[in-house]
Amino acid sequence: MIRYPYDGEGIASLKLLAKKYPRTFLLDLFYKMFRIRLIEETVAARYHEDKMKTPIHLVIGQEATVVGSCALLTKDDYIYCSHRTHGAYLAKGGDLNAMIAEFYCRMTGCTASRGGSMHLMDKSVGMMGSSAIVAGAIPIATGFSLSAQMQNNHRKTVVYTGDAGVEEGVAWESMNFAAVRKLPMIYFCENNFYSVCSPLHYRQPDNIRIYKKAESFGLKSECIDGNNVLAVYEAMQRALDYVNNGSGPAFIEAITYRWRGHHGSEEDMGYRTPEELAHWKTKDPVALLQQVLIEDFSLPLSEVEELRQQITAEINKAFAFAEQSPHPTRDDLMNYVYCD
């Protein structure tokens, strides 16, 4: 039984959109998605070693949402994330060594073993942090955009949330305020149909779409195929145009699917069917773009293989870096409780 079928236009739509873009641009998007995929697969494959002692929330299957949206942001723009944060961190340009070291809870981790996997951040590229409380990030990110508006510094803010994030009241408190103040703010909802094991239709009425709710709050809002990286990219461009005009906040609902469980490395069944997962695997955002590049942009498979080797070498180095990094000590515990 497939409860939540893919309703996008698949490869045909991706091919059509791809015609507008140069090969180098498409190859760059592919590289970024492919890299996230390989990193996540390595994390999953090595999780059983029990050296990464932090819960992991893998983004395998959801690479297009973060790569398509971050492609239009500079390092001066802000993002803030939920617990499923690996993809956005990498897409915004977060340091890989610091991410893996954080999974190993070492001093060289991006938060020196304080946050673990659910609080990744890299301030140097505008990846400002992540909250493990559902929707906790949403008002904070809205505050970034208030700050940008008050300082007139033209920075944009994107907050990533899931389909359950919009079940928290504070999400709507934030969007309401952003609409009142016309903040330069983009709310990006990755709707993957499940919150831990709870399917969407247990949590929200069947006939009420998330993006429509946002629209009713006064946001420019649209729903897109989140497995089509160019659809994401173009929706993001429309949202940025709107926000940059001072018209107010925008909302993007991107339909996608996570292949692994809510957390951990397994595929996780019981609340969903193998047929549903297999169905979505045929809509793999990374494979779709690879197919377009091979069929329409004469990308040789050997080049994909070269990329794989290059990325694998980078990943291996990052894991070695993490494993060789120092552990925090007793002296580190009480630092930074208060700021001087």
Binding site for another protein (CB under 8 A): 78, 80, 111-112, 114-115, 119, 121, 123, 128-129, 131, 133, 136, 138-148, 150-151, 169-170, 173-174, 176-177, 180, 335-340
Q: Are 84 and 57 in contact (CB under 8 A)?
A: yes
Closest to another protein by CB, 142 or 256: 142
**Minimum separation from the CB atom of position 283 to another protein (A):** 35
Q: Are 130 and 137 in contact (CB under 8 A)?
A: yes
**Minimum separation from the CB atom of position 114 to another protein (A):** 5
Closest CA to 156 of 83, 92, 84, 221: 92
Within 57-168, residue ranges assigned H as helices are 63-70, 86-91, 96-103, 137-151
Q: Are 118 and 132 in contact (CB under 8 A)?
A: yes
Closest to another protein by CB, 174 or 290: 174
Closest to another protein by CB, 179 or 289: 179
What CA–CA distance (Å, rounded) separates 47 from 39?
12
What CA–CA distance (Å, rounded) separates 225 from 298?
25
Longest C-alpha distance within the chain, in Å?
Answer: 58
Q: Return the structure tokens found at 79.
A: 């993002």
Residue given tokens 């429509």 in the structure block: 212
Q: Are 299 and 24 in contact (CB under 8 A)?
A: no
**Minimum separation from the CB atom of position 167 to another protein (A):** 14
Q: Which residues pair with 159 in a beta bridge?
A: 80, 187
Closest CA to 128 of 162, 88, 98: 88
Closest to another protein by CB, 56 or 179: 179
**Minimum separation from the CB atom of position 14 to another protein (A):** 35
- Dihedral sign for Cα 66, 67, 73, 75, please: positive
**Minimum separation from the CB atom of position 173 to another protein (A):** 3
What CA–CA distance (Å, rounded) separates 232 from 224?
7
How far is CA 266 from each of CA 3, 46, 138, 149, rounded to the nearest angstrom? 20, 12, 28, 43
Closest to another protein by CB, 202 or 336: 336
What CA–CA distance (Å, rounded) separates 44 from 266?
8
**Minimum separation from the CB atom of position 95 to another protein (A):** 13
> Helix or strand or coil: residue 61?
coil
Closest to another protein by CB, 44 or 121: 121
**Minimum separation from the CB atom of position 188 to another protein (A):** 16
**Minimum separation from the CB atom of position 165 to another protein (A):** 13
Which residue type sits at 19?
Answer: K
**Minimum separation from the CB atom of position 169 to another protein (A):** 7
